[in-house]
Structure 1
């Protein structure tokens, strides 16, 4: 099978451990030059709503690239990515569009890569015709037949390895009439990192195939790394928020929850069925959801996987809301009416 190896570190960046003058390995964590300063995909980079425009042909270019980047302070990992970010770029199309997609595999890669888009109607979702070796590129096209929010990911064996190392993203196919108007939209994906160390092991951590098969991630994160959403998501009181949320997996379902808010609408599994007044929504591995809510109070709202031990592994983000406090909606000290900004 192309791209498969029984060696869990096959395709890893080869790094020599530093040694002392006497030839004894030092205990100081290896300091590496990062290929990417920030691996986290920007949650605000999602393009503009298509507002029910006519179908057209759109061209998409993605580049598979293997990079070393920081997971958390002082901890590095060899990510495999689309466009040097995790998750990959947010793709936006309309029902009826023709998408012409080119996938290039950067010449510095050690592995072949491909792409399977769950929005494709066809064998392999595009993966059978997009397998590219380092330095190669291939182009294929498909028609977006079904509206919804869909995961895309690398599908080169071992598929789970390629995905957990960061090769996943979302493609939104808007319905013909478009989506309802909101004030803010954000893009978030949960993922798992299986490494040779833990949150306290500084330096470059290798991928652990054993941990992956045991379904025991070292990190569970939003947008590729710990604290990736800090300072990125901002809104004002009264804003209607729409979150496009996916789960790159590869093992865990997400129990997505915003502490202090109730979802007015949940597009179940990213499809057409809508649930209302939802506290926590399930997102299966390789699946997605769209949630909408209005923020009534200022403050910091925590985004979590409500299997809360995963917060300890990194699954937490913050939405910061500014504006005027309304004592009728939420009163920290009943009877004391304090309007704050």
Structure 2
């Protein structure tokens, strides 16, 4: 998919006010929708250099970029190509960071398989990169989840085949030395292993990933942020992000999770971490079904308000939309929403249903 700079330029001019209002987070305004906030005076953590020119306009993965459900009844070979790319992009307008990515996006590409399939992986480390990379699949039985077999220096390419033998939604991530640095900088994604009978049908499928970013600047401080190992050791992130950018998947930025009332959606949610777990919550709804830990071989929990997703794990959750409006997907550690960027929005459009929700205006 090709992205233009038009939307980015508009956002830089408009600022963050719209998204904060959508989140119920406008500073100085009484809070709503479960999100409390009050004015905060930020201190300057460091003198930052000016924001750097960006290599890409966007690192946030399109949440709709999910391969279609598998309908075949027999195993197959699934070819996967991963290229490790180190790119400078904006975390938010005026704030740049040099990310590490799989295929230039966060989270990395969604990989879809079924039990018994063979993954035929090719991993390439772009020649202009500065570091070695690899990949550890939690869906792979083998030393390091494949990490040892896939270690590539800049300019190198390697290949690995492995069979997926158990169902679920599983994290994959870079696993070199300083693994926490590489994951925090964006190197994680999801591989789905469908059970042999497949998954129940839904109208939409969305893909989101949460991670922390540790930098030498404060949240929102303009300039180029460098990675801060001391801050990571204290587990004190500058940002907590969904899909790699602050408030990326919202109507104010990339308005891509759109449904009609009466439809259903399945959300694949991975937490790269490297340190914090997510309290995954849908404001204005519940999870109709949740497969905790991505454990598709287990029965789902029903009507769950908030589900914990551990670092290095995932969940599969479904939701429905009987009424129109913006349904905010958040980490219910709510300072991460109001202050650090952990917010995505599903917009449902359609007729009002006053039997279910009537604001009595």
Distance 1:141 1:249 in 2: 26
Distance 2:89 2:281 in 1: 28
Q: Deviations over 1:176-228 (max 9, x none)?
A: 11111000000001110001102231111000000100000000010001021
Say whether the 8 Å CA contact 2:51–2:95 is kept in structure 1: no
Say whether the 8 Å CA contact 2:51–2:222 is kept in structure 1: no
1:234 and 2:261 are equivalent in the alignment: no
Q: Deviations over 1:88-128 (max 9, x none)?
A: 00000111100010110000110000000000011100001
How does 1:1-341 map onto structure 2 within 5 Å?
A: 30-230=50-250, 231-271=255-295, 272-273=297-298, 274-311=300-337, 312-333=339-360
Q: CA deviation at 1:87?
A: 0.7
Q: CA deviation at 1:29?
A: 5.1
Q: Deviations over 1:242-280 (max 9, x none)?
A: 000010101101000000111111001100321111000
Q: CA deviation at 1:32?
A: 2.4
Distance 1:213 1:199 in 2: 18
Q: What is the root-mean-square deviation of aligned Cα atoms in Å? A: 1.2
Distance 2:156 2:284 in 1: 48
Distance 1:67 1:293 in 2: 34
Q: Which runs of 5+ in 1 are unaligned?
A: 1-26, 337-341
Q: Deviations over 1:145-196 (max 9, x none)?
A: 0010000000001111111010000000111111110000000011100011
Q: Which runs of 5+ in 2 are unaligned?
A: 1-46
SS in 2 for 1:180: coil
Q: CA deviation at 1:293?
A: 1.7
Q: After the TM superposition, which parts of structure 1 deviate over 2 Å for at least 4 consecutive aligned residues? A: none
Say whether the 8 Å CA contact 1:69–1:78 is kept in structure 2: yes
Change (3 A) 1:260 1:173: same
Q: TM-score, normalised by structure 2?
A: 0.84
SS in 1 for 2:220: coil
Instruction: Tell me which structure has the larger Cα radius of gyration.
Output: 1
Say whether the 8 Å CA contact 1:247–1:286 is kept in structure 2: yes
Q: Deviations over 1:295-340 (max 9, x none)?
A: 111000111100101111000111100001111101111xx7xxxx
* Alignment: residue pair count: 308
Distance 1:325 1:331 in 2: 8
SS in 2 for 1:313: coil
Distance 2:160 2:220 in 1: 43
Say whether the 8 Å CA contact 1:52–1:177 is kept in structure 2: no
